[in-house]
Amino acid sequence: MEMLVTRLTLPLLVLALLGCGAEADRSGAADASAAPTWPHGWMATVANPDATAAAAEMLAQGGHAVDAAIAAHAVLGLVEPESSGLGGGGFMLVFQAAEGELSFLDGRERAPAGASIDMFMENEAPMNYVKAWQSGRAVGVPGAVALYKLAHDRYGKLPWATVFEPAIRLAETGFTVTGKMAATLARLAPIARIDENPGAADYFFPGGEPLAAGATVRNPAYAQTLRRVASEGPKAFYKGEIAEAIVASAQAAPLGGSLSLEDLATYAAVEREVVCGPWRTLSICTASPPSSGAMQIMIAKQYDHLVPAEGTLAERVQAFVEAQRLAYADRDYYFGDPDRVSVPLEGLLDPAYLEHRATERPAPSEAPTHGDPAAVLGGPSLATFARDTTHELAGTTHFSIVDGEGNAVSSTMTVEGPFGSSRWAAGFVLNNEMTDFARTYAPEGPEPANAVRPGARPRSSMSPTMLFDAEGQLLMVTGSPGGNSIPAYTAKTILGVQDWGLSVEEAVSFPNIIARGAAVRVETGVAPGAELAASLRAAGFDVQEREGENSGLHVIVVTEAGLAGAADPRREGNVMSGGRP
């Protein structure tokens, strides 16, 4: 217990430098009997009501937040396959209340051993994006099933097989196709191979027509895959028939990839450092690279240097924009697979560096560039990378769960683009996560930090995040899909609830504002987006108005009155709660 309290109340530098490293913290385990009883019951907010119900089913029988997370995600792979599934990967941040242990479990897809730095180049230029996205080269080793097992072995309370029951039941008896899935299929067919590839075409386009909203669909192949994973564990997925189906699909024309049985057999989900940074009296804790979670700390801390005391909402939003511009420029430049490149996270989170950067920020009309922590703080410079121009499309989901004992999961899972690579195996689509690497490569220049490298994990924008108060009590569980816009969407909920006086629903619904690069995108279909766009334009920013945005924020906050949750009205999910003593 001592370790927990110390950890979450340590001064900034120590926290940022240590991360909330799970190894160290686990030694503080124990004395659960001394832990206060959690008075708030459980809550789940997920992008699809069938998946929320699966989480609730686990939580109502005393399951851990991790049990509920796996159950929800196994259902999402069936009912929201455009966003995530067994053929993809993702991140899970887990808070274990009694021990105060926070861990980041990384189930990100890995590049095959045969991947090469120039595999998305053609005639010395980046390959056409659609060609790369739909190619077999885009498929990385799926990480979801290994992530389930790592999380369940460590935290699960219900039997492994139990967590797959809701998804197997739905796959066998049938689920209702949602409007989003039907619309995504119809929109995608003219540009992607989802209506042509073997397996995917039959399942999603029966009789040649896309599945319609409201149709009841069964997926016996998915049920069979889950039954095998439930009874045999991950080896049923990473070896044998299912692995062979994945490899055959990834290697198929056009532009087959090098994904091999060996790549699957050697995949492991891993635990990485949690990064925590004190902000005001709170701690923002999030996933370390290859995640971009640390941007949440960069944005919040730079915001405080930029926001005027007693500032109006428009002034606060302008400070948010300026903080984002700086954080995105550094993220785009420095972040990559930490096993392959040295990400200077300590320097990037150093208070002196963040203050310097905020003070030296570019004018609104100028495009922001990356900074150099070494130039401000001393030490060797790591500013030797090429610029990263990763392109991301919609195809991800986020869910937040708090269980009846106050344990929590913040998890973002993905297949990258909608329906991933459109390739099919054993009842699910395969990811195109390899296009999350910087696809551009100049042989004579330096490599981007996020270059394609054999066996590496591409940088991700996914940012599962939790906030804690000065006593180490859980305050907020947040995150979103949305590709490169994820850090902006997620940071909006933190500032919205903690600084702009919004309720969790209001913060989730608030117009999304994304300031990456020279332009600032403002969601004007939601009030007060039009007014904010006008004031940012008047301040000199290059404002691009967007009617809607693709966030899928699913957020829980802990208030004195109990748990409050929100599901993003831009998606199809809901909040369920229960179990208050």
Least separation in angstroms between CB 186 and ligand DON: 18
Least separation in angstroms between CB 462 and ligand DON: 5
Taking the least distance from each CB to ligand DON, the nearer of 354 and 555 is: 555
Phi and psi (nearest 5°) for 411?
Answer: -135, 130
Q: Does the protein bind ligand DON through residue 482 (CB under 6 A)?
A: yes
CB 371 within 8 A of CB 330: yes
- Residue from the set 460, 478, 490, 493 that interacts with ligand DON by CB under 6 A: 460
Taking the least distance from each CB to ligand DON, the nearer of 258 and 291 is: 291
x/- mask, ligand DON, residues 227-246, rule CB under 6 A, reads --------------------
Phi and psi (nearest 5°) for 189?
Answer: -50, -40
DSSP 350: -
- Residue from the set 388, 436, 447, 549 that interacts with ligand DON by CB under 6 A: 436
Least separation in angstroms between CB 550 and ligand DON: 5
Structure tokens at 187: 């929109």
Q: Does the protein bind ligand DON through residue 29 (CB under 6 A)?
A: no
x/- mask, ligand DON, residues 370-399, rule CB under 6 A, reads ----------------------x-xxx---
Query: What is the C-alpha separation between 557 and 563, in angstroms, rounded?
Result: 6
Q: Angle CA(276)–CA(281)–CA(282) in degrees, nearest 5?
A: 35
What DSSP letter does each residue of 490-549 carry, written as one string? HHHHHHHHHTS---HHHHHHSPPEE--TTEEEEETTSTTHHHHHHHHHHTT-EEEEES--
Strand order in the sheet with 396-402: 270-272, 101-107, 89-96, 408-414, 396-402, 42-46, 574-578
Give the list of residues 6+ apart from residue 9 with CB closer than 8 angstroms, or none: 470, 471, 472
- Residue from the set 462, 476, 520, 557 that interacts with ligand DON by CB under 6 A: 462
ω before 448 within 30° of 0 (cis)?
no
**Interacting span for ligand DON (CB under 6 A) from 459-467, 511-519, 524-532, 538-546:** 459-467
Cα torsion at 247, 252, 256, 262 (round to 10°)? 10
Taking the least distance from each CB to ligand DON, the nearer of 486 and 532 is: 486
Give the list of residues 6+ apart from residue 154 with CB closer than 8 angstroms, or none: 66, 94, 103
Determine what percent of the chain falls in helix, strand and coil, rounding each to the nearest 5. 40, 20, 45
Query: What is the C-alpha separation between 42 and 56, in angstroms, rounded?
Result: 8
Least separation in angstroms between CB 236 and ligand DON: 26
- Residue from the set 368, 481, 565, 573 that interacts with ligand DON by CB under 6 A: 481
Q: Is 12 exposed, middle or buried (0-12, 13-18, 19+ CB in 10 A)?
A: middle
Taking the least distance from each CB to ligand DON, the nearer of 195 and 433 is: 433
Site for ligand DON in 524-553 (CB under 6 A): 550
Task: End-to-end CA distance of the chain: give it in Å, rounded.
Answer: 24
Q: Does the protein bind ligand DON through residue 10 (CB under 6 A)?
A: no
162 catalytic, yes or no?
no
**Interacting span for ligand DON (CB under 6 A) from 135-143, 197-205, 279-287, 456-464:** 456-464
Specify which residues 216 forms β-bridges with.
Answer: 176
Give the list of residues 6+ apart from residue 11 with CB closer than 8 angstroms, or none: 278
Taking the least distance from each CB to ligand DON, the nearer of 86 and 307 is: 86
Q: Does the protein bind ligand DON through residue 414 (CB under 6 A)?
A: yes
**Interacting span for ligand DON (CB under 6 A) from 128-136, 263-271, 458-466, 503-511:** 458-466
Least separation in angstroms between CB 489 and ligand DON: 9
- Which residue in the list 396, 412, 435, 440 is annotated as catalytic? 396
Least separation in angstroms between CB 319 and ligand DON: 25
- Residue from the set 101, 165, 416, 499 that interacts with ligand DON by CB under 6 A: 416
Binding site for ligand DON (CB under 6 A): 392, 394-396, 414, 416, 433, 436, 460-462, 481-483, 486, 550
Catalytic residue ranges: 396
